[in-house]
Amino acid sequence: MAPAPGPDRTTHNGSHSPRPIFLQMAILIACRLLLNTGRRFIYPFAPAFSRALGVPLTAITSMIAINWATALLGVISGPLADRWGYRRMMMAGLLLLVIGSLSGGSVGVYLAVLIGLALAGIGKSIFDPAVQAYVSEQVPFRRRGLAIGLLEVAWAASALIGIPLLGILIDSHSWRAPFFVLSAGGALGFLALAIWIKPDGRIRESSAAGRPWLPAWKKILANRTAMGACGFSFFVQMANDNLFVVYGAWLEQTFQLSIVGIGLGTSVIGFAELAGEFATAGLSDRVGLKRSLVVGLIGCTLAYSVMPLLDASLPMALTGLFFLFFVFEFSVVTGLSLATELSPDSRATMMSGYFAAAGAGRVVGALIGGPVWVAGGMLATASVSAAINGIALASLMWALKGWQPHQG
């Protein structure tokens, strides 16, 4: 028998007979796979889009930067999700993916594609805090690492499944085909959410109270633990992107790899991400989220530090990249799992700030990565990333000093 609804134990999907959580998770993972693929697929196919749209490659990289900058809009959507309901905001995010992808593929000019990808990026920025908050409402903290780890599989899957499939579509049809597929998939996801994910009743009650969004942010800004976690999110992503934007140049310069060879390196990273997500799902709850995160960050620092020593052979370099992105993804997903419980009364607001900090960190890391590489090669890049990762660890320790979860 389902528990009776109450102020803290309302059936969060609004039904007296809740949908099986595994079915909800499958739908949410599929929706995130679409949104993640929509954000990431432009990277490997940037030259193809440059030729198709008749613009220089720098115009495509600017398109990518604008797509990532949309993560900052999550600071607005997060409080709205806490106020209006998580399912409603997830559906809004998918609707923007549908509209953006359809317009980008239909019009076929640079400005339309730019706007379409920006809309899809905004959709992801709206969807992500809401889905993290929704899952956290459904799953107790003692199993949060498992739930968030499975949810984050959609990130690795976008590189291992989504992007290769879109590449086949581009090769066999045209560069427009991925947009239409993403739009159709988003529409199906929208319908699946409407049918299988019921409204989160307790959140709607807080909406009825008319709580404005500004107090929600004031509460987060006054929370040392929350702000320290956002600092961790910023620095850990900054450290990684400082290296990520130049790893291809490192492989090409050191081992004279072709584009196909660099693609192999990207596949290694995709498998490492998947392994890190499964490690979070399988281990972090048993070990403890705080302890797991600290171990992961120490592993990241060590991985950055040894990267300059791995240029003796390509297998050593690829092994180093695998380990680095494994411990990085383990740390990121474990950090997400922990962050979902730092402000239980404003989960989506907290997660939107967390994601915005991560997006800002990626932008800064990408901006400094090129100059650092030019100045000192992999030695400088790895040293800077290791130092920044150390700051991320310090920020995390400051944030979690004396903190205990609200749930068992």
DSSP states along 2-48: PPPP-TTT--TTS-SSPPPHHHHHHHHHHHHHHHHHHHHTTTTTHHH
Q: Is residue 94 part of a domain?
A: yes
Q: Are residues 279 and 321 in the same domain?
A: yes
Report the CATH number that the domain containing residue 334 is assigned in CATH: 1.20.1250.20
Q: Is residue 177 part of a domain?
A: yes
Q: Are residues 88 and 107 in the same domain?
A: yes
Spatial distance between the Cα atoms of 399 and 205, rounded to a whole number of angstroms? 30
Domain C-terminal end among 188, 211, 234:
211
Q: Is residue 226 part of a domain?
A: yes
Q: Are residues 243 and 135 in the same domain?
A: no
Spatial distance between the Cα atoms of 206 and 236, rounded to a whole number of angstroms? 33
What pLDDT, on the 0 to 100 scale, is given for residue 15? Answer: 39
Domain C-terminal end among 162, 187, 211:
211
Domains in the chain, number: 2
Residues 6+ away with beta carbon under 8 Å from 170: 45, 48, 177, 178
Q: Is residue 408 part of a domain?
A: no
Residue span of the structural domain in which 315 resides: 219-400
The model's pLDDT over 218-252, given as tens digits with 9 standing for 90+, comes to 777 778 888 999 999 999 999 998 888 778 778 87
Q: Are residues 350 and 314 in the same domain?
A: yes
Q: Taking the CB of residue 190, how many other CB atoms lie within 10 A of it?
A: 19
Q: Are residues 226 and 131 in the same domain?
A: no
Q: Is residue 126 part of a domain?
A: yes
Q: Is residue 407 part of a domain?
A: no
Q: Taking the CB of residue 374, how many other CB atoms lie within 10 A of it?
A: 12
Q: Are residues 325 and 292 in the same domain?
A: yes
Q: Are residues 226 and 207 in the same domain?
A: no
CA distances from 9 to 16, 21, 25, 321 (A): 12, 16, 20, 44
What pLDDT, on the 0 to 100 scale, is given for residue 13? Answer: 41
Intervals of the chain under pLDDT 70: 1-19, 44, 61, 201-216, 258-266, 406-408
**First CA to last CA across the chain, in angstroms?**
22
Q: Are residues 48 and 137 in the same domain?
A: yes
Q: Are residues 273 and 372 in the same domain?
A: yes
Domain C-terminal end among 162, 188, 211:
211
Q: Is residue 93 part of a domain?
A: yes
Q: Are residues 37 and 164 in the same domain?
A: yes
Q: Are residues 168 and 224 in the same domain?
A: no
Q: Is residue 6 part of a domain?
A: no
The model's pLDDT over 263-283, given as tens digits with 9 standing for 90+, comes to 666 678 889 988 988 888 888
What pLDDT, on the 0 to 100 scale, is given for residue 223? Answer: 80
Q: Are residues 94 and 169 in the same domain?
A: yes
What pLDDT, on the 0 to 100 scale, is given for residue 216? Answer: 67
